[in-house]
Amino acid sequence: MTDSALPPTESDSPWKELIEAFFPEFIRFFLPVADPEIDWERGYEFLDKELQQITADAEVGRRYADKLVKVWTIAGQEAWVLVHIEVQGAQESNFAERMYVYRYRIYDRFAVPIASVAILADESPSWRPITFETGLWGSSDRSEFVSIKLLDYLDRMDQLLEDENPFAIAIAAHLRAIQTKQDRQLRKQWKLELLKLLYERGLSRERIVGLFKFIDWLLSLPEGLELEFRSELSAYEQERRMPYITSIERIGRKEGFHQGEVAVVLRQLSRRLGQLSAAQTAQIQGLTLEQVEELSESLLDFASVTDLESWLSQQQ
């Protein structure tokens, strides 16, 4: 893996999962003014399909829908509020315009009040979109949204670690990922400390596992350090008699990912070199995840099966 702060996947996907798992806590942390106005007893509803329909034919840059959630106010009326959530991992010149387009399309379809919230997860302190304005010859439109910069929490790390809201831990993990992108040993230590913090708070297994998935994605480790981390966490779990994360379920997820990577490499090799022998296939299936990742890069230079055999012989 490269030394980027975040894994090379869509930067907002794990955030979406976390928001869906802990939506009331999201509101209480990022939009506390709304919490007493929402009738939580009536529940809430995620409107992902509706948002996709609204934004499917939009033409403002790269499109990806975040979370659109329907809630009810304590007024007890039929009126309801849509909360539009954006998690932005890198600077985008037309981001504010995209927020505006989403907002007016949602309002045009449903005619309901909308709270638009942007979580800015990038590493540029100066990039702070909050409004979009457009106008011509005396007519104009202006749209504002709540903009939260995660970098602003850097000087509040102690406060984050004391806060029991799951999004405080999520932000702490995000910031530690940025701070340790050149020091994976330190990243391993912080990953373990954050997991211990979850256990010490006596959270349910479901909540710990849900938060761990997010932390595990952000604070990713090379295979060797990952094995060290898993061993240390397992020892801690045995001491606490709470084997949540290092269970067969987690090991199965790791093995499933490994097998998926092997399958991709085998397909690439087959297309490039033709049908492999059973022995060659078995040897590739026995590679570690790190070796499979190296092979996926090296195979681009292979001109024949001889090149593959030479590469495999060097791995023994």
Residues 196-251 have pLDDT tens digits of 998 888 888 888 888 988 998 889 888 888 888 888 888 888 887 777 676 534 54
Instruction: Grade residue 50 by pLDDT with cuts at 50, 70 and 90.
Output: confident
- Whether 164 is in a domain gets the answer no
Distance (Å) of CA 118 to CA 66, 217, 285: 10, 21, 43
pLDDT number for residue 175: 95
Mean pLDDT of the chain: 82
Residues 148-169 have pLDDT tens digits of 999 999 999 999 999 999 999 9
| pLDDT > 90 in the chain, percent | 29
Amino acid identity of 220? S
The two three-digit tokens of residue 283, written as one number? 């040897």
- Whether 167 is in a domain gets the answer no
- 231 and 292 assigned to the same domain: no
Separation between Cα atoms, residue 75 and residue 81, nearest integer Å: 12
Q: Taking every pair of C-alpha atoms in the chain, what is the biggest distance, in angstroms?
A: 75
- 72 and 127 assigned to the same domain: yes
- 235 and 270 assigned to the same domain: no
Would strands 45-46 and 67-72 be described as parallel, antiparallel, or unpaired? antiparallel
Is the model's pTM score more than 0.95? no
- Whether 160 is in a domain gets the answer no
Closest CA to 236 of 196, 201, 203: 196
The answer to whether 314 and 298 have CB atoms below 8 angstroms apart is no
- 56 and 136 assigned to the same domain: yes
- Cβ contacts of residue 239 below 8 Å, gap of 6+? none
* CA-based R_g, the chain, Å: 23
- 84 and 200 assigned to the same domain: no
Distance (Å) of CA 149 to CA 30, 48, 49: 11, 24, 28
- Whether 161 is in a domain gets the answer no
Instruction: Grade residue 10 by pLDDT with cuts at 50, 70 and 90.
Output: very low
Classify residue 88 by burial, with Cβ atoms within 10 Å: 0-12, 13-18, 19+: buried
The two three-digit tokens of residue 216, written as one number? 């595990």
Instruction: Grade residue 51 by pLDDT with cuts at 50, 70 and 90.
Output: confident
- Give the structural domain span for 287: 262-313
Write the DSSP string, 49-97. Answer: HHHHHHHTT--SSS----EEEEEEBTT-SS-EEEEEEEEE-S--TTHHH
- Whether 306 is in a domain gets the answer yes
pLDDT number for residue 65: 42
- 230 and 291 assigned to the same domain: no
- 140 and 210 assigned to the same domain: no
- Whether 43 is in a domain gets the answer yes
Choose the weakest-confidence range: 3-12, 100-109, 124-133. Answer: 3-12
Choose the weakest-confidence range: 167-181, 185-199, 289-303. Answer: 289-303
Residue 8 has pLDDT above 60, yes or no: no
- 84 and 192 assigned to the same domain: no
**Residue 178 C-alpha from the chain's centroid:** 14
Instruction: Grade residue 142 by pLDDT with cuts at 50, 70 and 90.
Output: very high
Classify residue 174 by burial, with Cβ atoms within 10 Å: 0-12, 13-18, 19+: buried
- 36 and 92 assigned to the same domain: yes
- 205 and 108 assigned to the same domain: no
Count of structural domains, the chain: 3
Fill in the DSSP letter of residue 40.
G
Of the candidates 246, 271, 291, which is a domain's last residue?
246
Residues 88-128 have pLDDT tens digits of 666 778 889 988 988 888 888 888 888 888 888 888 888 89
